[in-house]
Structure 1
Amino acid sequence: MTLPSPLNGLRELAADYDLLLCDVWGVIHNGRESWAEACDALSRFNRDHGRVVLISNAPRPAAAVVAQLEELRVPRDSWGAFVTSGDATRVELAKRAPGPGWIIGPERDWPLYEGLGLEIAGGAADAAFISVTGLFDDTVETPEDYRERLAAGAARNLEMICANPDRVVQRGDQLIWCGGSLADLYESLGGRVTMVGKPFDPIYDLALKEGERLLGLPVERSRVLCIGDGVITDVLGANRQGLDCLFIAQGIHGDAGRGANGRLDPARAAALLKAEGTYARYAMLDLTW
């Protein structure tokens, strides 16, 4: 088992990279508060070393998520561009317009569909495909609440477009079910799923294009570093792209990467990664400079 190299701060490798593709939820905020040290680390890199592209599995266009970053006081100088799973999903949905599409997800995600000319189906019976951003009410519902409805879609062989491959996300001190959990259930029922966020190619294609725009030159992949706390999204995505990865071993994994001394335990972090067949070159508990 290859251990990730523990870092004391991003400063130790800042000179080795021109572009950071950094996860958002779980790295720089938890949905309720931002983390000043993580934001400062990105600001320093973005100002003095290279450029930062935030890359998120948020199922809304980036423009609709920036307001959340502002509310959480994420400094604007900590990033140069922002790419979401919602941005990549709109490309896929436009190919399938006018549908009709059976929409599953909370009202806050409806900016995803604006201007696409999609007709909205009432359910599986009159839909041409399914679009999932998350649960309607992730504070009380679980994926099992959707089993019967999704089984009807699978029986009709409807394709599901999942705008958020995350299974869970940390909100404050709670883990909340996300769209990826419904996609997993749908596949177990025999349904077809297309996912475009991390760890899949479309979102990285967009992020690297944004990186080239910011840098003003072609991106050298050996000088791109992915940062994230999700093993099956951030780390797996970096591995599939052949990019270096800094694994934030706290986030959604709680204390699973922490040793008895309260510091990062590389062996425990490596065990988290190995369980999903992934590898990260570096690891930290929290992002700091």
Structure 2
Amino acid sequence: MTADSRGVPLISGLRDIAGGYDAILCDGWGVLIDGRRHFPDAAEALRRFRAQGGTVVLITNASRPDEEVRRQLLSLGAPQDCFDDLVSAGELALREIVARAGQTVYHLGPSRDDGLFREAARRLGAPVTRVGPDAADYVVCTGLFNERNESLADYDALLAALRARDLTMLCANPDIVVAIGADLVYCAGALAERYAAIGGRVLTFGKPHAPIYAAALERLKNLRGGDVDKARTLAIGDGAFTDLAGAGRAGLDCLFIMHGVHRDELHPEGGALDEAALELLFARAGARPKALARELFW
């Protein structure tokens, strides 16, 4: 290992630090997949950690129920044996939708996320009543309707109308942006942030907030048959304001992946690491990682 930024070691692979941990909470999108394919080296690293007796729970801000996320991962080629279980922000949002049985909801997001409401209806044994913004009791935001062709400003009038009705927004994916292949697109977190800025009430599910870490640690407890030592649990992720900040708040060590969502700002024009930019990310996240890696390898 070599020191890369003010004493934070740059590791050559997970094997360098794996012996210090019994469990891993690993980000999905950006570390294991990019929305188009899975990363075989990352999957192999997690598989080898499990082979040594470790437990891996994927912790993702995907706005879909756990089982739907699992199917997506497998469809992209991620092997089932590289993780033990997963917990998604969408699953936590789903529980809140179920708890609001009888209320009408406006879905702000693409139709590909309709599975959230189908699963809620299945659990409730009755349809979830989805209506327009003028008739809703609350809002579920899963992202932009068309993130490829729209800007955040396109939503200002809609957000103002929701705020005028004082509707609570459930943000099912706190990510601001996510990489799809080489492209960066806005996520639900960007709209929720914009809504909060005009005084809207937002309930946010997923990283960096406490509920998803509590749920993930509970999964680990069940898998390992007892309490989990946070000091021997490693979070892995590529998002400074989700993975790194969330690990810091949860009291967990973090392995920060640099060639993920922040790659362009950390490596301007594809060049060498900009250490000042990296330090600024740490400062803005309010946390420092235990170690750095360019990508997840064993």
TM-score, with structure 1 as normaliser? 0.94
**Partner in structure 2 of residue 88 of structure 1:** 92
Match of 2:55 among 48, 51, 55: 51
Aligned 1:116-195 pairs, distance under 5 A: 116=124, 117=126, 118-123=128-133, 125-195=134-204
Q: In the aligned structure 2, how far is the partner of 1:84 from the partner of 1:239?
A: 19
Pairs within 5 Å for 1:33-72? 33-72=37-76
The structural deviation recorded for 1:46 is: 1.5
Deviation of 1:276 after TM superposition, in Å, equals 3.1
Of the structure 1 ranges 271-280 and 35-44, higher mean CA displacement relative to structure 2 is found in 271-280
- Please name the residue that 1:23 is paired with: 27
**Any residues of structure 2 matched to 1:273-288 within 5 Å, and which?**
273-288=282-297
Any conservation in 1 of the 2:168–2:201 contact (CA below 8 Å)? Answer: yes
AA in 2 matched with 1:109: D
CA contact (8 A) 1:25 1:31 kept: yes
Conservation of the 8 A alpha-carbon contact between 2:264 and 2:270: no
Match of 1:4 in 2: 8
SS at match of 2:69: helix
Q: Which amino acid aligns with 2:131?
A: A
Stretch moving more, 78-87 or 260-269: 260-269
Once residues 200 and 270 of structure 2 are traced to their aligned partners in structure 1, the CA distance between those partners, rounded to angstroms, is 46
Distance (Å, rounded) in 2 between the aligned partners of 1:238 and 1:232 = 10
- Whether contact under 8 Å (2:43, 2:78) holds in the other structure is yes
Q: Which residue of structure 2 lines up, in the alignment, with residue 74 of structure 1?
A: 78
Cα shift readout 1:162-196 (whole Å, capped 9, x = no counterpart)? 00000100001100110001101111222111101
Q: Answer whether contact 2:244 2:285 (CA < 8 A) is retained.
A: no
Q: Which 5+ residue runs of structure 1 have no aligned equivalent?
A: none
**Equivalent pair of 1:129/1:159 in contact (CA under 8 Å):** yes
**Structure 1 partner of 2:116:** 112
Match of 1:225 in 2: 234
- TM-score under structure 2 length normalisation: 0.91
Shift of 1:67: 2.0
Instruction: Provide the rounded CA distance (Å) in 2 between the counterparts of 1:96 and 1:171.
Output: 32
CA distance in 1, matches of 2:288, 2:20: 19
After TM superposition, give the deviation of residue 71 of structure 1 in Å. Answer: 2.0
Q: Which region of structure 1 is more displaced relative to structure 2, 275-284 or 46-55?
A: 275-284
Count residues with an aligned counterpart: 288
Contact 1:246/1:284 (<8 A) preserved = yes
**SS of equivalent to 1:209:** helix
Superposed counterparts of 1:181-220, under 5 Å: 181-220=190-229
CA displacement at 1:264 relative to structure 2: 5.9
Counterpart code for 1:48: Q
Give the Cα separation in 1 of the matches to 2:274 and 2:79.
30
- 3-state SS, counterpart of residue 42 of structure 1: helix
State, as a whole percentage, how many aligned pairs show the same letter. 41
Q: In 2, Cα distance between the equivalents of 1:267 and 1:231? A: 14
Change (3 A) 1:263 1:21: farther
Kept in 2: contact 1:257–1:285 (CA 8 A): no
Q: Is the 8 A contact 1:3 1:266 kept in 2?
A: no
> CA 1:142–1:260 in 2, change beyond 3 Å: closer, same or farther?
closer
For residues 184-231 of structure 1, give each alpha carbon's deviation from its aligned partner in whole angstroms, at most 9, with x where no partner exists.
111122211110111111111111111111111211111110000011
Check whether the contact 1:132–1:163 (CA below 8 A) recurs between aligned residues.
yes
- Taking the aligned partners of 2:75 and 2:142, their CA distance within structure 1 comes to 22
Q: How far apart, in 2, do the equivalents of 1:87 and 1:261 lie?
A: 36
CA contact (8 A) 2:248 2:286 kept: no
Q: Is 1:271 aligned with 2:280?
A: yes
Structure 2 SS opposite 1:251: coil
Whole-angstrom distance in 1 between the partners of 2:275 and 2:10: 7
> C-alpha separation between the residues in 2 aligned to 1:268 and 1:139?
27
> 1:260: Cα distance to partner?
11
Tell me by how many angstroms 1:265 deviates: 6.6
SS of 2:36's equivalent in the other structure is coil
Partner deviation per Cα, 1:56-101 (whole Å, 9 max, x = no partner): 0000001012222122111111000011001111122222222111
